[in-house]
Structure 1
Amino acid sequence: METHHCDTCGKSLSSSSNLKQHMMIHTGEKPYSCDLCGKTFSQAGNFRAHSRIHTGEKPYSCDLCGKTFSQASALPVHRRIHTGEKPYNCDICGKTFRHNANFRDHRRTHIGKKPYSCDFCGQTFSRADRLRIHSMIHTEEKPYSCDLCGKTLSNSASFTVHRRIHTGEKPYSCDLCGKTFSRSDSLRVHRRIHTGEKPYSCDLCDKTFSQAAHFRDHHMTHTGEKPYSCDLCGKTFSQAANFRDHHMTHTGEKPYCCDLCGKTFSQAGNFRYHHRTHTGEKPYSCDLCSQTFSRSDILRVHRRIHTGEKPYSCDLCGQSFNQAAHFRVHRRIHTGAKPYSCDLCGKTFSLAGSLRSHRRTHIGKNPYSCDPCDEAFSSSSGLKKHSRIHRGEKPYSCPHCDYSGKTNDHLKSHLRIHNRKQNKAVMSGAKLSQQSPPERTSV
């Protein structure tokens, strides 16, 4: 068979047509143009595959699960999910991959190579697709539009994932607990809950992370870097996700809508958390007591009960807390801040819960009822105090005598008796010292 050689790079090709197609890599020629979005291609096959993004055509189907694909090359890669085949093996750490592209990207994590550089800001990337996606931050290009909600996206992968918000499709399943995901990278990260793997390590403080995004965000706490700037108010952010969420505070955009109750959200994370209030799903489990949670951050806080960790310390009194929210509330004792105000009478409160309970006094609402006697209360704390009458419980003990009270107020009233006695004794001692005649001195 006759072979054809490229004069530029020496590559051998089986036909003159293949050589002609190959030469476009060197010349940069892209004769195939999409009339819907203007994107150009050097190869007819790539152009046809791209066109299916707009038409939605997916002619290649998996005979094991029925999933369809727009490109023939995606089907054999997909089948590896079913077969478990991972033919690409890293000779440095032994990690295996289904995709050659993922394998190449992984190799760069060992050598620190980031060959793709942004012309606008100089930021470098290990993958060409990440550079393309990043560049759209500067160009604001979003060629992919959702026909269901109108949201526009900068890349086809994000568009595919976004569509699953509407369809509810979760094609990636964990073989250890059965939990399903709409994204393959979410499944990979989830599996680390089971394995305990934390592959990202900070060279400045040795802290380890299970997610690359969390590692990058953490690293910026050392460098102070905030590369994302809001052009409307000038506020800067270290995370792209936080920047996008902030931007929606200006636009009022809430693209995530709950199909069960109609509530809308500006953040995908908050939408997912909300959805679990309907489904009751609690995918995060404590490995020490097996208690389950709907959010990973709630699990992290819960684990501090077991470890005793209290990372939030008050610099005024030294008291420490295991939750940031409790620390913020405590600080108000020192500052006297009462940020919650009743719009009916103007009374202010340091706690949101106290304001809610107070508002019930205006509307006469008492949602907390005592089972033994049916007496109703406006707050759960009021019911708790009342219930001690029935149980005979007296948890507040006097440090000076055997007295114990049902409420803290009862204890305070009792302590005044000791204070009065102490004050009397002090005054009596002072009177005696005044009445005693001075001692005579002998001459």
Structure 2
Amino acid sequence: MLNFINDSCIQKQTVMSNLCVVCLNSTINPKNLNEIDSKQTKIIIKLRQCVPEVEWQIESQICLPCLEQLENVCTFRDLCIKSYLKRKNSSEIKLEEEKPPIKEDNDRFVCFHCEKTFKIKSILEDHIKYKHTETDLTKPLNICDVCGSSFSNKYLLKRHLKNVHATEKKFKCELCERKFASPVYLNAHKRYHSGERKHICSFCGKGYITASDLYHHEKIHANKRAYRCHICPKAFNTSSDLHKHKICVHQDRSQWKYECSFCQRRFPLKTNLDTHTKTHTGERNFLCHLCDRKCINRSVLKRHIESHSVVKSFKCNLCLQGYKYQKSLDIHMMKIHGIGDAKIPERIKKYFCSICPKSYFANNKLQKHIRTHTGEKPFQCPACDKCFIDKSYIKQHLKTAHNVFE
């Protein structure tokens, strides 16, 4: 009897594991959604593209009849997109024929799109080609491997690498320590020292120093999200954001090329490494105007200033717990209620005391601990001469010793 029950359970588990995630019927030899089809595309990617409303799980399976229907849908979808792009291109060509992009005005050549003037016609033609011709997103972009910027042709990419990421930079700024490979880039850099923001966004009124900065900013307002990731359903407003997404999310961490010289931790972008390195060196140049806290960078300072507020705008609708940030609420929902897909951060004691074996999760905790070794007490009570190793002790001291309640 026991053997019969065990066989029945095994048979039931086998049937459940062979269920198709689409039609919910049991099937023989189902395909895993993580498998790659004949066109070198994962099945789950096609499902997410065709039916983004459903949260497809990578461990699910699909039967062959449903997979065949999915292929038909994808073929039809590709046909519609190709037809749309063909019509769009033909309409743009017709528009260019009806209204020429170049007009002459007092021996100067004027761009039809932005009214900029040029003395030489060939320079204007290059301007139109590189500034006002929309990049064909069906073709591979020329992307800089160093910073993620994209260019319409290999020549511009090569020029960018030569001038921006060149190893030899002879032209030095007199106002700071930065150097450049050409006087053109040096002069462009000097504009940032002047602080003049004459390029104004027509959507929000925010000013920018260069036309290029404004151009990339206004793409955010347009929110076309024309740059789509071919691995997941996410899309971005700029090719640079897409490139960073691919590196940060889809590239293997062992291939990240920025390595910390202190702890050998790897990072996808140089900005990430620069910020992380400051946790080792202790460099904190951004001072809070509400307290004596110093922060690593401007974004950390902004989050810190928000911590002075007592407003908790993000409420859990199940237990009414409040949080200051949406990310904190998302982690709470996943950790406490098992809802959502937020990644629960793994806490690692990466800050080690050089005097004893103790380690800490946060650098400020480590600094507090080190003062127990050195005897340093930098925080003095405002009502007496007593000093403490940590500012938090003053509040309790005021209550017990001076009967002061804040």
Smaller-chain TM-score bracket: 0.3 to 0.5
Higher relative contact order (CA closer than 8 Å, sequence separation 6+): 2
Q: Give TM-score, length-normalised by structure 1.
A: 0.43
Q: Give TM-score, length-normalised by structure 2.
A: 0.46
Q: Which has the larger radius of gyration?
A: 1
